[in-house]
Structure 1
């Protein structure tokens, strides 16, 4: 290894924020190579501060993607319901033509439709997700993220006190009014995941409180009437997707997004289905902890198993 390459790899990272509350690009690092302890610490610090961090021109293969991810935690199986890439149990394929997770006939679209935090139906949702762009359309296909900590902070104090004590049931199921494909129905039936989480979770590293209300998975609030649950959830879902809490990312081939799943929700694009271009990304996820609310109560599993490294190993 040349002195020049050592100097470049060990140079201080450059952090470029993209919005007021969430999202930053990180420059000055080569993710195809092992990172130094200082670089890992700097990237993790940026992740905790900006919730989602982005890298450009990082042309990783599957093995390098897995190796980069493993420097920040244990990897889960690609997806606990929909499986993984053949030969790489830690990687999940996200393509335009994913039949298993496509829905048709959705009857009601609302401002929060499609927003979600990854796999919150599990009792220990992933700590983080790392998404790599490979085939990217020349336009369209942007992904958005929102900051659930600032969303909690911007609630009025009486509402914060109220939601601090509430809990909700998260379930892996099609959106209301949607007709899933047979592949989707079969996968969900074979891998049922249902968990009860606090509506506000305390971040295990920073102590911050995040409004943990994944629109794609949270089905109802525990201990209130159905109408009360609907009204409260719609209020909170509308709130967490306020534009000023969000960042929108334009993908390029070689782009990587690395987000803290404990403090964010995100929105996958749907405009790609109106375009003639292919879109292919690959994702790894890192094993997460069991959420804990402000009252100290941990989440509980209602049905299904925790999402952990053991599942990935078993499929290898």
Structure 2
């Protein structure tokens, strides 16, 4: 009788151990010190290549300093603050995402989104650390939006070719603000317009690039799409909602269970994520370094 050994899907890429977590997105890295990767050119190059391949990387048990956290993120590019959340006073660009009983009522994380697509140049990615996690719950889901685009029906791909969409901070973070503050936020960060399908600047992949910050399609109202004026609003909205629902397809997702001092590094250009807020009244504290990106095309 032949005994078949259990399948081991882990691999070693250079000096980093890699354990793919799903068939389409995400890998857990082992045998890596992120503090070292922040200062080692060869190790960082390997890390960056893995990020492009798996789109989100996870590492556990990294008890490193905030300075090394920031230094690692800065290897990818300059860091950016957040106009609402702010950042650590001693480490500019390191945003504290602390959820406890005193947290404000906004729940923008528990929707499928790319970070800050309301910017003209949305973030390239982020390095997120778990400082404190609930005993149960508080997972985060990431979605491969390259796969979401690839598996769209061909007639839908043809329909959305060349379409552009508006993304707004006023309609999201600004919605709970008094009117004068909301209008000031909109003046400082006017709605951004991006292609519905963007091209990854490093891999050339096509990406479905709409999310919960997207408010509407801006160039849908053409003779090809609209027979009567009544076609415009519902037709565009129904198409946009259909596209947004693609992020909820489980086959495109990976779900990560946080532990203290675990990290996630993700490519914000090709993914969406959803922070599951199922842990109240427990506390969840995260620190994120967001990396400045380019203008989508």
TM-score (norm 2): 0.84
From the superposition, tell whether residues 89 and 36 of structure 1 become closer, same or farther in structure 2 (CA, over 3 Å). closer
Give distance in 2, aligned partners of 1:157 and 1:280: 42
> Which residue, 25, 30, 42 being the options, matches 1:27?
30
Equivalences, count: 272
- Residue 102, structure 1, aligned to residue 87, structure 2: no
CA distance in 2 between counterparts of 1:226 and 1:175 reads 20
What residue in structure 1 maps to residue 75 of structure 2? 71
Query: Measured at CA, do residues 121 and 139 of structure 1 come closer, stay the same or move farther in structure 2, by a change above 3 Å?
Result: same
Using a 3 Å threshold, how does the CA distance of structure 1 residues 221 and 43 change in structure 2: closer, same or farther? same
- Is 1:46 matched with 2:53? no
Query: What is the distance in 2 between the residues matched to 1:230 and 1:184?
Result: 28
Within-5 A mapping of 1:283-302 = 283-292=288-297
Report the TM-score when normalising by structure 1.
0.79
Aligned to 2:142: 145
Q: Does 2:169 align with 1:165?
A: no
Other structure's SS at 2:192 match: strand
Q: Distance in 2 between matches of 1:83 and 1:210?
A: 29
> How far, CA to CA, are the matches of 1:113 and 1:283 in structure 2?
16
Q: CA deviation at 1:161?
A: 2.0
Aligned residues of 1:141 and 1:272 also touching (Cα < 8 A):
yes
Q: Computing the radius of gyration over CA atoms, which structure comes out larger, 1 or 2?
A: 2
> 2:151 is matched with which residue?
154
Q: 1:184 to 1:252 in 2, by over 3 A?
A: farther
Q: Work out the CA distance in 2 between the residues paired with 1:132 and 1:64.
A: 12
Q: Which residue number corresponds to residue 213 of structure 2?
A: 217
Give how far 1:269 is off.
1.6
User: Which runs of 4 or more aligned residues in structure 1 lie more than 6 Å from their structure 2 counterparts after TM superposition?
Assistant: none
> 2:236 corresponds to which residue?
229
Distance in 2 between the 1:193 and 1:250 partners?
36
The equivalences for 1:155-194 within 5 A come to 155-175=152-172, 180=176, 188=185, 191-194=188-191
1:263 aligns with 2:270: yes
- Could you tell me how far apart the structure 2 residues matched to 1:185 and 1:101 are? 16
The 8 Å contact of residues 141 and 253 in structure 2, kept in 1 or not, is answered as yes
* Aligned: 1:80 with 2:83: yes
Q: Would the aligned equivalents of 1:103 and 1:181 in 2 still touch at CA under 8 Å? A: no
SS of the residue corresponding to residue 236 of structure 1 reads helix
Deviates more, 1:32-41 or 1:55-64: 32-41
* Partners of 1:220 and 1:229 within 8 A in 2: yes
Identify the range of structure 1 (144-153 vs 35-44) with the bigger mean alpha-carbon deviation.
35-44
| Equivalent position of 1:91 in the other structure | 94
Report how far residue 53 of structure 1 moved: 0.4
Unpaired stretches in structure 1, ≥5 consecutive residues: 1-9, 107-111, 293-316
Q: Cα offset for 1:80?
A: 3.4
Where 2:45 maps in the other structure, the secondary structure is helix
RMSD: 2.7
Aligned equivalents of 2:55 and 2:271: distance in 1? 7
After superposition, give the CA deviation of every residue in 1:73-113 in whole Å (9 maximum; x if it has no partner).
Answer: 22122x13332122222110111149776338x9xxxxx97
Distance in 2 separating the partners of 1:184 and 1:101: 19
Aligned to 1:238: 245
Asked whether 1:278 is paired with 2:283, we answer yes
| Structure 1 residues 296-311: aligned runs within 5 Å | none
Cα displacement (A) at 1:175? 4.9
Q: Is the 8 A contact 1:84 1:93 kept in 2?
A: yes
